[in-house]
C-alpha cells in the first residue's frame, strides 16, 4: 500500500479526503482480484458476499486510521454484525426506492472519534450493489460530515438519497 498521510490532528473532512482517495485507488483492483471467487459465492451467501469484498477493501485504511488514534465512537454490542472491522450493520440503511434489484444502495455510518475520545464527525459509506448477481454498479463512496447524533446522521442520509 502506498504511503497514506494520516495525522492525529486531522479533521473529519481531511480524513474523508484520505479515505476517499484510498477507496478510489483500490476498489476496482480488489474487485478484479476477487471477482471470480465472489461471483461463485454469491448464490449461496447473497448479500453477505459484499461483506466479504469489503473485508478485503477496507481493513488496510481502517488500520491506518486506528494507528493514528481514530476509531469508531460506538461501543460494540455482543450481537453486532460488523463488516471489515468498522461497518456495523446496525448502523446502516438500505432502501429499495434508492435503486432497483440490479442497483441497490446501502449506506453505513461510523461516528469517528480522535485520540482524545472527542467525536469529530461521521463517515457515511455508500455501497451500490445488486441483489440479482454479484455486481458493484458504482464505486463505493465515502462522505464525511460533522454531525454525530443518530437523528442528524439518518436525516443526512435520507437528504442525500432524495437528491438522486
* pLDDT tens digits for range 52-95: 999 999 999 999 999 999 999 998 999 999 999 999 999 999 87
Q: Which of the pair, 55 or 2, is modelled with greater confidence?
A: 55
Q: What is the pLDDT of residue 3?
A: 62
What is the rounded CA–CA span in Å between residue 16 and residue 11?
8
Position 4 in a domain: no
Per-residue model confidence (pLDDT) at position 94: 86
Residue-wise pLDDT tens digits, 109-163: 999 999 999 999 999 999 999 999 999 999 999 999 999 999 999 999 988 877 6
Is 106 inside a domain boundary? yes
Overall pTM surpassing 0.85 (yes/no): yes
Q: Is residue 2 part of a domain?
A: no
**Residue 96 resides in a domain:** yes
Q: What is the span of the domain harbouring residue 149?
A: 12-162
Residue with cell string 437528504: 159
Kindly tell me if the per-residue pLDDT of 14 is higher than 90: yes
The answer to whether residue 1 is domain-embedded is: no
Look-up: residue for cell 438519497?
161
**Residues facing 128 on adjacent strands:** 105
Number of domains in the chain: 1
CA angle at 77 for the pair 47 and 125, rounded to the nearest 5°:
45
pLDDT the model gives residue 163:
63
The C-alpha cell that represents 77 in the structure block: 454490542
Does residue 98 lie within any of the structural domains? yes
Cell numbers describing residue 92: 446502516
* Band (101; pLDDT cuts 50, 70, 90): confident
Asked whether residue 136 is assigned to any structural domain, the reply reads yes
Asked if residue 25 is part of any domain, the answer here is yes
**Residue 25 vs residue 96, higher pLDDT:** 25
The residue behind cell 458504482 is 138
Q: What is the pLDDT of residue 1?
A: 46
Greatest extent of the chain over all pairs of C-alpha atoms, in Å:
44
In this model, does residue 45 exceed pLDDT 60? yes
Amino acid at each position: 500500500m502506498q504511503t497514506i498521510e494520516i495525522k492525529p490532528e486531522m479533521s473529519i473532512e481531511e480524513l474523508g479526503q484520505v479515505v476517499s482517495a484510498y477507496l478510489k485507488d483500490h476498489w476496482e483492483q480488489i474487485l478484479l482480484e476477487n471477482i471470480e471467487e465472489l461471483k461463485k459465492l454469491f448464490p449461496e451467501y447473497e448479500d453477505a458476499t459484499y461483506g466479504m469484498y469489503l473485508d478485503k477493501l477496507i481493513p488496510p485504511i481502517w488500520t491506518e486510521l486506528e494507528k493514528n488514534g481514530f476509531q469508531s465512537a460506538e461501543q460494540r454490542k455482543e450481537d453486532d454484525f460488523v463488516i471489515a472491522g468498522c461497518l456495523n450493520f446496525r448502523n446502516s440503511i438500505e432502501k429499495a426506492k434508492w435503486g432497483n434489484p440490479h442497483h441497490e444502495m446501502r449506506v453505513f455510518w461510523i461516528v469517528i472519534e480522535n485520540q482524545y475520545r472527542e467525536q469529530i464527525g461521521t463517515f457515511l459509506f455508500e455501497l451500490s450493489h445488486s441483489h440479482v448477481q454479484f455486481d458493484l454498479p458504482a464505486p463505493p463512496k465515502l462522505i464525511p460530515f460533522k454531525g454525530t447524533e443518530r437523528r442528524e446522521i439518518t436525516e443526512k442520509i435520507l437528504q442525500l438519497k432524495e437528491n438522486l
